[in-house]
Amino acid sequence: MAIIKVQKGTKDILPDEMPIWHFMEQKALEVFSKYGAREIRTPIFEATELFARGVGDTTDIVNKEMYTFEKSERSLTLRPENTAGVVRAFIENGMHRLSAPVKLWYKGPMFRYERPQAGRQRQFHQVGVEVFGIKQPSADAEVIMMAVDYLKALGLNDLTVELNSLGCPSCREEFKRHLKDVIRPYLPQLCEDCQNRFEKNPLRLLDCKSPECQEIYAKPEIQKVIQGDFICEECSNHFEELKKYLDILGVKYERNKLLVRGLDYYNRTVFEIKSNNLGSQNAVCGGGRYDSLVKNLGGEDTPAIGFAMGMERLAALIGDKLDEHLTAYVISNNTEEALKLTEELRNNGISAEFDLTNKKFVKQLEKASKVAKYALILGEDEIAKNEITVKNLDTSEQKTVSRQNLNELKCMII
């Protein structure tokens, strides 16, 4: 009988890969909790209208990429992203009554009917943050800091933060008008996608990947409009203040005036974090401010900003770097002493094991070097002197510490 295979653009996450996924999830909880964010889990399918109204019906996501189906005469859609779902939950559960800022984070699968390639799947996972209730740029800085902090906690570097401001609806209209005016003469030469976007969503022309279109957009008169600062004074002050805060926080960024993002809900700040070690799908994080979305979806007027990261892309970057070794392996022929020390280490947050079968010392050492970073040796001598010999299993360096002073030991091995 023919084997039924996994669907194109979807993947099993196998037991061998789980440590990386647990690591990403655990770090998300740790880092986002530090900022006062709380986890939210929303359903995987929602009313189709939520995404049409939320993400925007001029976007590729809504026009081409949604998994939509009918049940009991209702049109439902597997979520292509989670900002719209979180906003729906925020409104429906009256979270605007909570004291601002309301900081929420989430993780889970998303679905987009895209052409699969390395780094791009039809079912993928995102981890994300949404912060509601603050219009000041301090919130933008904090949200970008949360993203950077999380990536740092995953041990990822060689990343670039790209930043732009899309202005507010009124200054953006002005920009769109100028952009259309300079591009109009070239309209017949643009790709089909750009021709379609020209009226509906001209900002999206800027991130077209077609070399022919890019050549046109590089023309001096078009670049003059793109590079000119179109945003109004208020939006410009907001952006300048954000940049000042990022400088204070030591977050490096690059201004990218072509960064417009593929979802309709953004205003003012937009950002992406790109890796220099992935192929063409190199954005690990995308986000921005969406001050009108809560109101557009029927809630109270509430400013908001957030981001989401593609977990498969993060996993690819973490790769083999994840160290699954225990911190300590206790070596002793005295089971009582080994048991006591191992338990004490675990109670102090140090991962540890000892040999439950009382094998010979050499065998225990062999095992330790496979599974741990440090061997903690409790031989007869050590037990008599109330000491522990600590052996670094990488460098083979040895040092003796007092059994009484767990702090000294902790400083050595954590």
Instruction: Rank residues 278 and 406 by Cβ distance to ligand HAM and give the closer one.
Output: 278
- Residue 142 in tokens: 């904090």
Instruction: Tell how far CA 89 is from the center of its chain.
Output: 21
Q: Is 79 in the site for ligand HAM (CB under 6 A)?
A: no
Report, in Å, the least distance between residue 280 CB and ligand HAM. 12
315 by DSSP, 3-state: which?
helix
Could you count the other beta carbons within 10 Å of the beta carbon of residue 14? 7
Report, in Å, the least distance between residue 143 CB and ligand HAM. 9
Instruction: Rank residues 150 and 307 by Cβ distance to ligand HAM and give the closer one.
Output: 307
Q: Is 124 in the site for ligand HAM (CB under 6 A)?
A: yes
Q: How many residues bind ligand HAM (CB under 6 A)?
A: 25
* Segment 210 to 269, residues that bind ligand HAM, using CB under 6 A: 262-263
CB distance 112 to 51 below 8 Å: no
Question: Binder to ligand HAM among 126, 164, 269, 275 (CB under 6 A)?
Answer: 126
Q: How would you label 127-156 residue by residue, b for 16+ Cβ within 10 Å and e otherwise?
A: bbbbbbbbbebebbbbbbbbbbbbbebbeb
- In a 13 Å sphere around the CA of 157, the CA atoms on its Cβ side amount to 3
Instruction: Tell how far CA 182 is from the center of its chain.
Output: 37
Q: Is 355 in the site for ligand HAM (CB under 6 A)?
A: no
- Residue 32 in tokens: 């986002």
What letter would DSSP give residue 348?
Answer: T
Instruction: Rank residues 203 and 372 by Cβ distance to ligand HAM and give the closer one.
Output: 203
Report, in Å, the least distance between residue 262 CB and ligand HAM. 6
CB distance 77 to 113 below 8 Å: no
Q: Is 121 in the site for ligand HAM (CB under 6 A)?
A: yes
Q: Is 393 in the site for ligand HAM (CB under 6 A)?
A: no
Instruction: Rank residues 68 and 389 by Cβ distance to ligand HAM and give the closer one.
Output: 68
Instruction: Rank residues 133 and 306 by Cβ distance to ligand HAM and give the closer one.
Output: 306
List Cβ neighbours of 94 (8 Å cut-off, separation of 6 or more). none
* Strands, sheet with 352-354, edge to edge from the N-terminal-most edge strand: 352-354, 326-332, 372-378, 387-392, 398-402
Question: Binder to ligand HAM among 27, 53, 197, 313 (CB under 6 A)?
Answer: 313
Question: Binder to ligand HAM among 312, 355, 382, 387 (CB under 6 A)?
Answer: 312
Report, in Å, the least distance between residue 10 CB and ligand HAM. 11
CA end-to-end distance (rounded Å), the chain: 54
Nearest partner of 264 among 107, 47, 49, 52, judged by Cα: 52
269 by DSSP, 3-state: which?
strand
Q: Compose the 275-304 pattern: x for residues touching ligand HAM by CB under 6 A, - for all others.
A: --------xxxxxx----------------
Q: Is 120 in the site for ligand HAM (CB under 6 A)?
A: yes
CB distance 308 to 286 below 8 Å: yes
Residue listed under structure tokens 């023919």 = 2
Q: Is 309 in the site for ligand HAM (CB under 6 A)?
A: yes
Question: Binder to ligand HAM among 60, 114, 193, 241 (CB under 6 A)?
Answer: 114
What residue ranges in 182-316 does DSSP mark as E strands?
254-255, 267-275, 283-289, 304-310
CA distance 115 to 65: 10
Question: Binder to ligand HAM among 32, 90, 245, 307 (CB under 6 A)?
Answer: 307
Question: Binder to ligand HAM among 128, 133, 137, 202 (CB under 6 A)?
Answer: 128
Instruction: Rank residues 309 and 376 by Cβ distance to ligand HAM and give the closer one.
Output: 309
Instruction: Rank residues 112 and 403 by Cβ distance to ligand HAM and give the closer one.
Output: 112
Residue facing ligand HAM at closest CB distance: 310
- Residue 301 in tokens: 């007027």
Instruction: Rank residues 185 and 279 by Cβ distance to ligand HAM and give the closer one.
Output: 279
Residues that bind ligand HAM (CB under 6 A): 81, 83, 112, 114, 120-121, 124, 126, 128, 130, 262-263, 283-288, 306-310, 312-313
